[in-house]
Amino acid sequence: MKKQKGFSLIELLIVVAIILIIAAIAIPNLMRSKMAANEASAVASLRTINTGEVTYNNTYPGTFASLTSLGPNAVPCVTPSVAGACLIDNLLSHATTAATAKSGYIFWATPGAVGSGLYTSEAEPATVGQTGTRGFCSDQNLVLFYVNPGTGAIGGCTVANTPL
């Protein structure tokens, strides 16, 4: 009788079971890493918005800008203006809905009344628990804070929030 070469069905099933166990352990860690990367990107984007707001206020004294006004008025930006200051990139200036989210986060920049010297910016996960778990906000003081996503803290970013 000839001896057959190869693996038995039992050996193959054991290998497949081991691979599935390793995947079950690794996938949740991968998702947490992705959310942490999205959150880091959101914080960096808020810092970019803060820089844009300060520059906008220095260029057009007494006013702050909405998110779209901080971005380009055309792609590529030809002539900066009040309505399109070209201070942040097009992707960030249009990341205002889940469909246009940047790195899984939605952004807002809300200027206060003209001459008030106030604005608030916020970043919230497009899908809480999948793209991120924490929201972030900042204001004219340039301090970043944690906010609970979905609380509608726009305009409510204060020192009562936990600083980053």
**Tokens encoding 60:** 């057009």
Of the chain, the end-to-end C-alpha distance in Å amounts to 73
How does pLDDT run along the chain (164 residues), one tens digit per residue?
667 778 888 999 999 999 999 988 888 888 899 999 999 999 999 999 999 999 999 999 888 999 999 999 887 888 899 989 999 999 999 999 989 999 999 999 989 888 888 888 999 999 988 999 999 999 888 889 988 886 554 546 766 778 87
Name the nearest CA neighbour of 102 among 50, 48, 38, 150. 38
Closest CA to 111 of 52, 65, 150: 65
What sign does the CA torsion over 141, 64, 146, 39 have? negative
